[in-house]
A and B are shown apart, each in its own frame.
Chain A
Amino acid sequence: MRKFIIFLIFISAVATSQYFLDFVRPKYSEVPPMLLPAQAIKLSDLGLHAAASGLIWVQAIQNMFAPGTKNQLMLPSYLNVVNNLDPRFSYPYAFGALVLPDLKFVDEAIKIGERGIRDADSDWRIPYYLATTYHIFKHDRVNALKYFDIAARTINAPDSVKKIALNYGSAPDIRQQTKQIWISIYETSEDEIIRERAKLYILHYEYIELLEKAASIYKQKLGSYPDNLGKLVTSRILKEIPEDPFGFDYTIDSKGRVNIKTR
């Protein structure tokens, strides 16, 4: 019993000292993670390339999305190492094709996605996310259509993806179509980060639709579109202007079209 109490005292002392160390130690600036070249890892992993690839992937996710991190800019390098170690590991290609454009790595995203289609195990998410990148960031409807079609033809592609591929280009409103794409990403992805992003995009387009509808009501009442969105509130059509989920400001033009303020 005495020994047990001494043991408990020691354990509590260890935990307490650890707590105070964390509390007292100043926060040092974040050191960027070191990333070994894939060739060096291959020379030392005893042929366990898939496990090494999985390990770098987990490390990439933890480093990239840690709160307050500044390491997102290393994401393309991480993804390249992951897939140089295991070129058949499909998800990092899909992830890169979807997430990198948001970090201003549009060309890298396309390169990674196209390599994924060539080298990875069959996975509809790679061409699908690549198509969304072409559509949204490059405004390249031809390539978007091409990759939507590849996605629709991939084994295990969900019906919603096939429908998007079929409808792509037929809807008169581009924005509506983009919204449809994000809705299908939200419905098909199991990853919280991607679903969260898709939700933000859907919300973003819904707010634009709401503001345009409010602008039409304004025109019916007062004969012309408002020259700024604040007038929708002063004329009591809306209680407030919704805040864009990506943090941008909305603007309205003379034809009542709402968009993100570019300057």
Chain B
Amino acid sequence: MYGILVFSLLFLFSITVIGSLSLGEDLFVIRSFGLAGIYLFGLIIALFTGASLMYKEVELKTIYIILSKPVKDSEVILGKFFGLLASIASIMVLMGLIYLSVVWLNGGGFDSGSILAIILQLFEFSILISILILFSTFSAPIASTIYTIVIVYSGHLLTLMLNYAANTGGFQKYMALGVYYLFPNLEKFNIRNLVVHNSVITQTEFLLTAGYAIIYTSLVLFLAHIIFQKKEF
């Protein structure tokens, strides 16, 4: 994880060089690449640390030590979730600070819009971490990582499902609509494309997106809790 973190920080410093190759559009390239870097490196760190979170505890039998204490199953799940979320958040704060300094040093001033983009990214990661914990309760780390990557991709392409539903009828339409409403719509958290053009979302939109993340995360953690409870140690 530290290796990836160091690499991500080096990337954030190097985007100035990429910006200088862009024929006068330095700030656009620095901001879009910087935000993309924070997202991708955060995603990689979350995927590789989250996938083995519960599985390792069971495999190494350290879960027995935890469960022998007066700790509820739900507390174990919540503890794992908030622990990983806190470490991802601290990494993102570090990357965010470096990003803000790089933008400031390149004449972009204080990039407040990007802070909002990073906060929404953290909400997206809260859903992903809960999904990772869910998969981690019953599958091996490699499988959990692959399942989550599939969800990340489909979560960013759900609009295609909505378009498909609009152009079809009958059972297929309801299937497509079902997938659209039940899968996590990760594109809702993506305001990076707006922020680089100095556009921001409304307060209502922000609160709805944050609420959506909290509800979805709670749902997935609840499912993870049920599966964890049914497991025999």
- A contacts, CB < 8 Å to B: 43-44, 46-51, 53-55, 57-58, 61-62, 86, 88-89, 91, 95, 121, 189-191, 193
Contacts and interface: CB of A to CB of B under 8 A. Distances in A.
Nearest to A85: B193
Given A61-B23, A191-B24, A51 B33 contact: yes
Interface of B: 18, 21-25, 28-29, 32-33, 35-36, 39-40, 43, 152-153, 156-157, 186-187, 190, 192-193, 196-198
Main secondary structure of the interface of B (DSSP, over half): helix
A49 B18 CA distance: 17
Given A46-B153, A57-B29, A121-B197, A51 B21 contact: no
Contacts of A49: 193
A44 B40 CA distance: 13
Contact of B22 (A44, A46, A57, A88): A57
Which of B18, B24, B157, B186 has the most C-beta atoms of chain A within 10 angstroms of its own C-beta? B24
A45 B178 CA distance: 24
18 contacts: A44-B153, A46-B156, A47-B187, A47-B192, A48-B35, A48-B39, A54-B25, A54-B29, A54-B32, A57-B22, A57-B29, A61-B22, A61-B23, A88-B197, A89-B25, A89-B197, A91-B24, A95-B23
Nearest to A64: B23
Contacts of B25: 54, 57, 89, 91
Given A54-B33, A89-B25, 16 more contacts: A43-B157, A46-B40, A47-B156, A48-B39, A48-B40, A50-B192, A51-B33, A51-B35, A51-B192, A57-B25, A58-B22, A58-B29, A61-B21, A89-B28, A91-B24, A91-B25
Given A57-B22, A91-B25, A191-B24, A50 B39 contact: no
A57 B21 CA distance: 9
Nearest to A49: B193
